[in-house]
Structure 1
Amino acid sequence: MSNSILSVQPLTFPWQTSDPFLFCAFHKDNYPKGNGQMGPNASLSGRNLGSDFAGKDGWSMYHGQSVPGFPAHPHRGFETVTIAEKGLVDHSDSLGAAGRFGNGDVQWMTAGKGVQHSEMFPLLNETEENPLVLFQIWLNLPKVNKLVEPHFAMLWSEDIPVFTHTDAHGNMTKVNVINGKIEHYVSPSPAPDSWAANPENEVAIWTIVLSPDAEWQLPTASAGVNRSLYFYAGEDMEIDGSTVKRGNTIKLDATKATTVLNGKEESKLLMLQGKPIGEPVAQYGPFVMNSNAEIQQAMQEYQNTHFGGWPWPTHDHTHDKSKGRFALHADGKEEIK
């Protein structure tokens, strides 16, 4: 490996990440037309409903029975950053918050001391297919913030700054600055108790689109910062002169300038970066703490309290078909887009 490249490894599910991140789940589903009840207009026979991750016919139901997605489940001790690049997500949670977002929107949720939420994928289009491209990034919380109050926020696509660079040959690179900054392009504020809320931690979450043959140099970051590129769409590119194919994770030395030269097809990358928290990680399913004893405590508290219960009619709750993009917060404030 040369220059800034530390390693190149094939993408696995979920994508492996470095501290302060825990992992990234990438979903690409070519859902068929909707059936009028927000589920797929297709037979569900041959699927392991309730745990369908096989990708039959190019899509999965995941834990959904009639609408694809993830019915109510708990979290504690970390954050989820959900990037809905394409398609829609219906969010409902135990705080009474809810939302429908997608097609470039991002949801930032701090689980903190404990929350239940559901993430369903409503198939609203009944005349055409309903493709979904989604990243869910798990960002750890430091011990001091493991038990903060849960928090739910939306970063709407129109509020996320887009940095563009045109190279000497007129080829364009576009970067959605979901967190962090590039030059004078500064992201919306993350959740208040997040590791990302302190600029000194240099947390960056960017989605990068390179047109064919585009060349761009990533800005550097401080020593000790972990930085990885996830090459999920396209064919190939050169990174510091080394050819890399789609379907790889590229770990970089963030202190060195990295030059990316795209191949003959449009390419897409996710970049995750940040200073490590550097604390022990104990994880059991949806709970992420610092010790096994804290995991046992989290499980016991969930059994006793269900983290506030579930205020919605069903665990796979979806919102009315007529609703557009919106966010209803636990305090009653509503955003309508």
Structure 2
Amino acid sequence: MQHPLIYSVVPVTFRLDLKDPFIFCAHHLDHFPAGNAQLGPQTPPQNKEYNMYYGNVVPGFPEHPHTGFETITLVEQGVVDHFDSLGNAGRYAAGDVQWLTTGNGVEHCEMFPLVHEDQANPMELFQIWFNSSPEQKQQPADYKMLWREQIPHVIEANAAGQKADIRVISGQFKETDALPRPPHSWAAPAENKVNIYLITLAPEAEVTIPATSASSTRFCYFYQGKSLELEGQQMDVKHLAELKPDVEIHLKGGLLESRILWLEGEPIGAPVAMRGPFVLNSEDELNAAFKRYRDTHFGEWPWPSPAPVFERKQPRFATYQGGEHKEYPEQL
């Protein structure tokens, strides 16, 4: 695709390779069957049938460590049970976003209970690995829930009435601000211009994304639909475009509903040393972090197993401050 505003377009099967301040983004999609009494699948999995199945019974990712970066988990379908070494826990689901700053170290698990016994349990989410500044890597771990009822939407319609729905996960879209991010996030200060949107275009709907700074990184991932017109160029589904940041970008949907993940932000500009789930600034820092994890496990794991889940009927909620504070979406 030759276009002065489109730097590159690449196909995506699972992982979106991004640039500073983003590390990468995984687009997970598993078509889990109906659940059994233990919240696992009624039909046992065959070989490596699913991408997100590391538990013995319930799908998901049992207890594992992180340090030095942030995970931003945007759920499109399904249910997630979260537990961590800070003593926090919660359940969130389709439309919710969890923003975790791993700071100087945390263990957590992300399990996907199959809560429906009489129908399939599809699980779809984006998990963005987002870098932290050197100073933020030294801060205590923290997290925040962005509940679907509270996430701002901007609705725009063209002359024919076709609507664009922009969910503002981070930053700002025109005059609409996102919910606050965790305080030790690179995305928290407005000057870092970390804008994350989930965009849904009705058939043939249009939207224009405002320009950001010339130094920002900018990506558009077209993940559902038939076709997308990007600055007058046709873009196929499951493709990632890197774009010029300091200009407006015009999008127009095809004959089917189109869904887009939009990512942009100022780079941190620090060296990156990454080994598995640890992201620091040098090999010496990585070695020290792995030693600290072997010695401390980033705190005691306070839960009865490496892969706990809540009961089937548990509503969405989150705890903070080691479980001292609890919130439910309807109480916000």
TM-score by length of 2: 0.96
Give yes or no for contact 1:60–1:68 (8 Å, CA) kept in 2. Answer: no
Q: Which residue of structure 2 lines up, in the alignment, with residue 8 of structure 1?
A: 9
The one-letter code of the counterpart of 1:281 is V
1:124 equivalent in structure 2: 115
Q: Which residue of 2 aligns with 1:91?
A: 82
Identify the match of residue 277 of structure 1 among 268, 273, 279: 268
Distance 2:107 2:259 in 1: 32
Structural mapping, 1:239-250, within 5 Å: 239-250=230-241
Q: 2:208 corresponds to which residue? A: 217
Q: Counterpart amino acid of 1:197?
A: A
Q: Distance in 2 between matches of 1:153 and 1:244?
A: 34
Deviation sequence 1:248-307 (CA, Å, 0-9, x none) = 101111111111111111111101110011111000000000001111111100000000
Hey, what does 2:165 align to over in structure 1?
174
Deviation by residue 1:53-102 (Cα, 9 ceiling, x = unmatched): xxx2xx44431221100000000000111111111100000010000001
Which residue pairs with 2:38 in the alignment?
37
Residue in 2 that maps onto 1:18: 19
Superposition pairs of residues 1-337 of structure 1, within 5 angstroms: 1-44=2-45, 46-47=46-47, 52=48, 56=49, 59-331=50-322, 332-337=324-329
Task: Report the AA paired with residue 189 of structure 1.
Answer: P
Output the CA distance in 2 between the equivalents of 1:62 and 1:68.
4
Q: Deviations over 1:32-73 (max 9, x none)?
A: 1111211111023x32xxxx4xxx2xx444312211000000
Structure 2 segments unaligned to the other structure (5+ residues): none
Tell me how far 1:13 sits from its aligned partner: 2.9
User: How has the CA–CA distance of structure 1 residues 273 and 125 changed in structure 2, closer, same or farther, with 3 Å as cutoff?
Assistant: same
Query: How far apart, in 1, do the equivalents of 2:23 and 2:100 lie?
Result: 15
Deviations 1:203-255 (A, max 9, x none): 01110001111121111111111110011111111111111100110111111
Segments of structure 1 that go 5 or more residues without pairing to the other structure are none
Change (3 A) 1:61 1:155: closer
Report the 3-state secondary structure (helix = DSSP H, G, I; strand = E; otherwise coil) of the residue aligned with 1:6: strand
Whether the 8 Å CA contact 1:105–1:155 is kept in 2: the answer is yes
**Partners in 2 of 1:160 and 1:336 — Cα distance?**
15
One-letter identity of the residue aligned with 1:303? R
CA distance in 2, matches of 1:247, 1:103: 21
Aligned residue pairs, count: 327
Q: Tell me how far 1:12 sits from its aligned partner.
A: 4.1
Instruction: Kindly indicate whether the alpha-carbon contact (under 8 Å) linking 2:30 and 2:52 is maintained by their aligned counterparts in 1.
Output: no
**Secondary structure in 2 aligned to 1:297?**
helix
Measure the CA separation in 1 of the matches of 2:113 and 2:80: 7
Alignment-mate amino acid for residue 281 of structure 2:
N
Moved over 3 A (4+): none
Deviates further, 95-104 or 3-12: 3-12
Structure-1 separation of matches of 2:125 and 2:33: 17
> How far apart are the structure 2 equivalents of 1:43 and 1:82?
27
Which is further off, 4-13 or 312-321? 4-13
Q: How far, CA to CA, are the matches of 1:22 and 1:118 in structure 2?
A: 20
**Residue identity in the other structure for 1:22:** I
Task: For 1:267, give the aligned amino acid.
Answer: S
Quick one: distance in 2 between partners of 1:127 and 1:105? 24
The alignment partner of 1:173 has SS state of: strand
| Cα distance between partner residues in 2 of 1:91 and 1:274 | 27
Change (3 A) 1:61 1:225: closer
**Which secondary structure does the structure 1 equivalent of 2:256 belong to?**
coil
Give identity over the alignment, percent: 43
